[in-house]
Structure 1
Amino acid sequence: MSESSSSTDPRYLIGRLGRPHGLDGYLGLYVDDEDLVYFQEGRVVLVEESPHTVEAIRRADKGHQVKFVGISTREHAEQIRGSDIHTTQRRDLREDEYWPEDLIGIEVRDVSGSRIGTIKSLITGGAQDRLVVDVAGASHEVPFVAELVPTVDLAAGYVEIEVIPGLIES
């Protein structure tokens, strides 16, 4: 374990620890593949609020396993089982990726530019991610795919959606 970080630094959730594996301190790691960059040997991550240095990471039958400096026994690993893992630095995004918190609250327009509502939340997983759009107090899920959401302009604070029959019912 090393380094400290200010409690005012932003925190970004990048994974969660599972159960211990073996006797030497490895833990299951639930992480999206694109966030594996945070688990390179020597990188510091926050396990809850405590900084931990990654000693090793390995592929397992069902995902990945991680070992931290100073966590050398199954008993030590058990103490942090189930903990959320955060970082204070965001990874670079691909052109078609967005941080969920950057989408929340922005305006939703149809492709002609008329205001429809605002993004209330983002549901991830399943066949595709879905935007939850608040339209006059009612929530509607819109698949977050290029065919239905052709424009995302975070700088201008809006997304455009292709409104097809049944997508947003009054």
Structure 2
Amino acid sequence: MQVQVARLGKPHGIRGEVTAQVLTDDPDARFVAGAEFATRPARAGGLVVRSARWNKDILLLGFEGVLTRNDAELLRGTTLFIDAEEDTDDDGWYEHDLLGLEVRVGSETVGKVTGLRTLPVQDLLIVEDANGEEVLVPFVEEIVPEVDTEAGYVRLTPPPGLFELNRGEPGADAAEGER
């Protein structure tokens, strides 16, 4: 089985570097010169890291054989994978483990997991609620105390208002215009 560790974004500069959305908890160890990754869409021989550096909070990767901005543009949207055997993290879940799980608060189903956003401070579950709206839920034990992939659900104990955070308040624009 393969595990996704990054999604490549737009080119950066003129020397073939690309931005990377990091989907692993230890990018400094994972993305080093010589590291090899399988790709989707498939690329013969995968990709081998030539360089990795941080520009503020954005990881910039250079790959062997990708030397120009035009070469880098062809990588946009490519996902990088490793074999699951290479990853020894037993304390966490991968995005593919969580996708489609029911999201429950108490005994009520309030949505489903549609993604996982990996960030430096904490991860966020992306939940589609019953109205089809996206809600970002901090993936911390206090808010997500139970993940049962075999039974197909995650249980939340959300603080008041969590599911309203991503929505604008009704009338907020009108009230602002009255000032």
Q: Same fold (TM over 0.5)?
A: yes
2:165 matches 1:146: no
Judge conservation of contact 2:5–2:82 (CA < 8 Å) in 1.
no
One-letter amino acid of the counterpart of residue 104, structure 1: L
Among residues 42, 50, 57, which one is paired with 2:43 in the alignment? 50
**Matched residue SS, 1:149:** coil
Normalising by structure 2, we get a TM-score of: 0.60
Judge conservation of contact 2:100–2:112 (CA < 8 Å) in 1.
yes
When the two structures are aligned, how many residues end up with a matched partner?
153
Among residues 8, 12, 17, which one is paired with 1:16 in the alignment? 8
Could you list the runs of 5+ residues in structure 1 that have no partner in the other structure? 1-8
**Matched residue SS, 2:83:** coil
One-letter amino acid of the counterpart of residue 161, structure 1: L
Among residues 95, 101, 106, which one is paired with 1:100 in the alignment? 95
**Aligned counterparts, 1:51-66, within 5 A:** 51=44, 52-54=46-48, 56-62=50-56, 63-66=59-62
Q: Distance in 2 between matches of 1:11 and 1:93?
A: 12
**Matched residue SS, 1:101:** helix
One-letter amino acid of the counterpart of residue 127, structure 2: V
Among residues 25, 28, 42, which one is paired with 2:18 in the alignment? 28
Could you list the runs of 5+ residues in structure 2 that have no partner in the other structure? 165-179
Q: Distance in 1 between matches of 2:52 and 2:134?
A: 40
How far did residue 67 of structure 1 move? 2.5
Sequence identity, in percent?
A: 20
User: In 2 relative to 1, CA 66–47 (structure 1 residues): closer, same or farther, beyond 3 Å?
Assistant: farther
User: In 2 relative to 1, CA 66–107 (structure 1 residues): closer, same or farther, beyond 3 Å?
Assistant: same
The aligned counterpart of 1:161 is 156
Q: Distance in 1 between matches of 2:157 and 2:73?
A: 49
**Matched residue SS, 2:114:** strand
User: In 2 relative to 1, CA 88–59 (structure 1 residues): closer, same or farther, beyond 3 Å?
Assistant: closer
Q: Distance in 1 between matches of 2:104 and 2:49?
A: 47
The aligned counterpart of 2:175 is none
The aligned counterpart of 1:116 is 109
User: Which whole-Å deviations, capped at 9, do the CAs of 1:48-86 have from their partners, x for residues lacking one?
Assistant: 321334152232545333121x34x42763563524133
RMSD: 3.8
